[in-house]
């Protein structure tokens, strides 16, 4: 079992806030768009998706600390019974729902306002001519239709039993004898799909939205759609944790007048310059950033634009 605490670089008794803070640091350091390793980024995202949620974290901790807790003990059980307990007579592991991950750009103001967003994406839809089967099939002779094979490693008291996907049928349990003309044996065809999602206020870069049953069609069923959020700057606004940042491009007339307007998403705000103006320091308006357990502030960066005649 993957140690998600090690992946995120936190201790097992870390608070949810510490885990969240460490995850944001790792996302910034390892994001593929900034030259990071994509596989490492996926591991970081998977780890946070589990232990970043309190309920999932409890289940993970129970399974991590007692991996055989749900097997009821093996006392006197035969090797066959052990295999059934470990791998499940109904092959639940093989039938685990798969995920389809897509990246969606969310503007900073969209994140602030929240609400409905329409997403269009490519989806593998069930092929109608073959009803999603991919064509005519027969039971795989290698695994006998189970979709996996079991290997025993070691001897004596140190025996390791490993379940691996069948290489002949790729874990499906059946092999195609005559492929469907429409999907080429895949059981699914590409289709453009549109769905409305509800964005929570303050959704941040690297967070996920999971939509059940809206992913690709595979192995006889539709998986889940996982929307991975990528926040982008919008209309001179940026996001930094709970803080909303506005880059104000000012004219000399604004300084002479003593005030300027900020198009805040809650309504236009008229900002008064302090007596001592220092454009190297950001102006701060308390509690006008993102709302949450800790309300953020509005930070205003001042930039002077001046054209000489």
Note down pLDDT in tens along the chain; length 309 residues. 688 888 889 898 889 989 899 888 888 888 777 777 878 888 888 888 888 888 888 888 877 776 554 444 444 444 445 555 555 544 444 456 789 999 999 999 999 999 999 999 999 999 999 999 888 988 888 888 888 888 777 665 667 778 888 888 888 888 888 989 999 988 999 999 999 999 999 999 999 999 999 999 988 899 999 999 999 999 999 999 999 999 999 999 999 999 999 999 999 999 999 999 899 999 999 999 999 878 999 999 999 988 776
Region 1-67: CATH code: 1.10.287.110
Tokens (6 digits) for 95: 């039938």
CATH 1.10.287.110 maps onto the chain at 1-67
The CATH topology of domain 237-304 is HSP40/DNAj peptide-binding domain (2.60.260)
Residue whose C-alpha is closest to residue 205's, from 28, 10, 4, 56? 28
CATH 2.60.260.20 maps onto the chain at 237-304
The C-alpha R_g of the chain, in whole angstroms, comes to: 27
Q: What is the pTM of this model?
A: 0.59
Q: What angle do CA 167, 173, 179 make, to 5 degrees?
A: 90
- Chain centroid to Cα 245, Å, comes to 25
């Amino acid at each position: 079992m993957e140690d998600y605490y090690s992946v995120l670089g936190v201790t097992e008794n870390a608070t949810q806030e510490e885990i969240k803070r460490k995850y944001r640091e790792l996302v910034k350091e390892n994001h593929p768009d900034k030259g990071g390793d994509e596989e490492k980024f996926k591991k970081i995202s998977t780890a946070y998706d589990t232990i970043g949620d309190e309920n999932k974290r409890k289940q993970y901790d129970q399974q991590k600390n007692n991996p055989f807790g749900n097997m009821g003990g093996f006392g006197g059980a035969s090797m066959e019974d052990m295999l059934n307990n470990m791998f499940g007579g109904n092959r639940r592991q093989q039938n685990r729902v798969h995920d389809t991950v897509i990246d969606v750009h969310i503007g900073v103001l969209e994140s602030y306002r929240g609400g409905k967003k329409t997403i269009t994406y490519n989806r593998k839809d069930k092929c109608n001519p073959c009803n999603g089967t991919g064509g005519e099939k027969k039971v795989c002779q290698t695994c006998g239709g189970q979709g996996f094979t079991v290997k025993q490693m070691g001897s004596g008291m140190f025996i390791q039993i490993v379940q691996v996907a069948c290489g002949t049928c790729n874990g499906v349990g059946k092999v195609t004898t005559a492929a469907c003309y429409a999907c080429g044996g895949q059981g699914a065809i590409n289709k453009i799909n549109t769905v409305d999602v509800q964005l929570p206020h303050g959704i941040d870069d690297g967070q996920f939205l999971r939509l059940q049953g809206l992913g690709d069609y595979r192995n006889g069923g539709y998986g889940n759609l996982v929307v991975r959020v990528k926040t982008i700057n919008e209309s001179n606004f940026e996001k930094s944790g709970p803080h909303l940042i506005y880059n104000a491009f000012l004219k000399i007339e604004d300084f002479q007048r003593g005030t300027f307007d900020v198009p805040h998403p809650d309504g236009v705000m008229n900002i008064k310059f302090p007596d001592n103006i220092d454009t190297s320091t950001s102006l701060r308006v308390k509690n006008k950033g993102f709302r949450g357990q800790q309300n953020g502030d509005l930070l205003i960066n001042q930039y002077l634009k001046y054209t000489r005649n």
